């Protein structure tokens, strides 16, 4: 048993102090203030009276806002599902590719991160607008033009484009550690490639898949810029409503309540992931 000495304890606190102060000052304190605002009411332009009222949370359950929450969940869920369908085969190809091809595939999925999100979104607008490249190409073969910009299709396309790396990179990290002898044994015993993937690979890497889904779903649910620029009046997500409460409506308490409802949904998703992972561990133990 390792004994913790006074010197090692002092070294630990010396290393831990800086990040602890940073997280407290720039994360815990601001988040606590916003959480307190969610139980208050607006007095003036910049004044909020924290009264302990639950009226802001009750207002969240208005059908208008519930519909926007539901639509945000649908958009985030569709984005995550599409990213998984595209990202899992891509990560699988990366896993079994040669070292040179692996670097190229990794760069292809990482390159969008090197460009500002606003620039990428405006590039998508140039591609999907009525006079954009897609409609120009379709017009060359006698099709179109089709209205793509400011639609739900544009929003989901933009969200998939932005969040695809959040699926591919965790999946690649998980698949790259997979014991390939299990795959070889499955193929040697007569199972085809698809059967091996669904009955051997996926069950083994299932915890990694859940983590990847969560990493994609959470930021997609809280996306603001992409639906705001690519979507129309029927494509707004909950982050846009929160932005309007803080800026235009000057209703900080209600905006704070909406923000924390989004955080509660995020925590629920994380709890679901932990429960699913625990069940998988217990199933293996049996």
pLDDT (average), residues 197-214 = 87
Within a domain: 154: yes
Within a domain: 272: no
Does the structure show a pLDDT above 90 at 17?
no
Within a domain: 49: no
| DSSP line for 77-104 | HHHHHHHHHHHHHHHHHHHHS-HHHHHH
pLDDT of the residue at 57: 92
pLDDT of the residue at 163: 92
Within a domain: 155: yes
pTM of the model: 0.86
pLDDT in tens, 122-170: 888 888 888 777 878 878 787 777 888 888 999 999 999 999 999 999 9
How far lies 242's CA from each of 22, 26, 58, 212, 235, in Å? 26, 20, 16, 26, 15
Structural domain tally of the chain? 1
Spatial contact of 226 and 162, defined as CB atoms under 8 Å apart: yes
Spatial contact of 78 and 158, defined as CB atoms under 8 Å apart: no
Q: How many CA atoms lie within 13 A of 262 on its CB side?
A: 27
pLDDT in tens, 37-82: 999 988 877 788 888 899 999 999 999 999 999 999 999 999 999 9
Within a domain: 113: yes
pLDDT (average), residues 15-19 = 84
Per the structure, the complete domain to which residue 98 belongs is given by 62-235
Confidence of residue 286 (pLDDT cuts 50, 70, 90): low
pLDDT of the residue at 43: 81
Q: Could you give the CA distance from residue 261 to residue 49 in angstroms, rounded to a whole number?
A: 20
Does the structure show a pLDDT above 50 at 113?
yes
pLDDT of the residue at 1: 46
Within a domain: 32: no
Within a domain: 268: no
How far lies 134's CA from each of 86, 145, 158, 284, in Å? 21, 9, 15, 49
Range list of β-strands (E), 3-109 = 40-42, 48-50
DSSP class of 45: S
Q: Could you give the CA distance from residue 60 to residue 251 in angstroms, rounded to a whole number?
A: 13
Classify the C-alpha dihedral 94-88-217-117 as positive or negative.
positive
**Percent of the chain with pLDDT strictly greater than 90:** 33
Q: How many CA atoms lie within 13 A of 116 on its CB side?
A: 4
CATH of the domain at 208: 1.10.3720.10
Q: Could you give the CA distance from residue 120 to residue 162 in angstroms, rounded to a whole number?
A: 8
């Amino acid at each position: 048993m390792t004994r913790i000495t006074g010197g090692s304890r002092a070294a630990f606190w010396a290393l831990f102090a800086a990040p602890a102060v940073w997280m407290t000052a720039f994360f815990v304190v601001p988040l606590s203030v916003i959480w307190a605002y969610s139980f208050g009411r607006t007095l003036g332009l910049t004044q909020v009276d924290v009264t302990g009222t639950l009226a802001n949370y009750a207002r969240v359950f208005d059908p208008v806002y519930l519909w926007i929450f539901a639509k945000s969940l649908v958009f985030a869920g569709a984005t995550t599902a599409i990213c998984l369908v595209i990202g899992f085969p891509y990560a699988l190809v990366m896993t079994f590719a040669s070292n040179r091809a692996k670097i190229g595939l990794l760069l292809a999925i990482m390159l969008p991160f090197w460009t500002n999100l606003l620039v990428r979104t405006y590039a998508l607008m140039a591609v999907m607008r009525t006079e954009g490249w897609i409609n120009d190409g379709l017009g060359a073969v006698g099709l179109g033009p089709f209205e793509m910009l400011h639609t739900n299709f544009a929003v989901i396309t933009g969200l998939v484009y932005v969040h695809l790396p959040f699926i591919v990179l965790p999946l690649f990290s998980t698949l790259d550690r997979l014991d390939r002898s299990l795959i070889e044994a499955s193929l040697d015993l007569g199972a085809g490639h698809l059967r091996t993937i669904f009955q051997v690979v996926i069950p083994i890497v299932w915890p990694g898949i859940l983590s990847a889904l969560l990493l994609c779903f959470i930021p997609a649910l809280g996306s603001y810029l992409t639906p705001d620029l690519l979507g129309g009046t029927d494509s707004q997500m909950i982050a846009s409503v929160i932005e309007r409460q803080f800026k235009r409506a000057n209703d900080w308490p209600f905006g704070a309540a909406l923000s924390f409802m989004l955080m509660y949904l995020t925590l629920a998703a994380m709890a679901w992931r932990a429960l699913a992972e625990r069940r998988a561990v217990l199933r293996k133990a049996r």
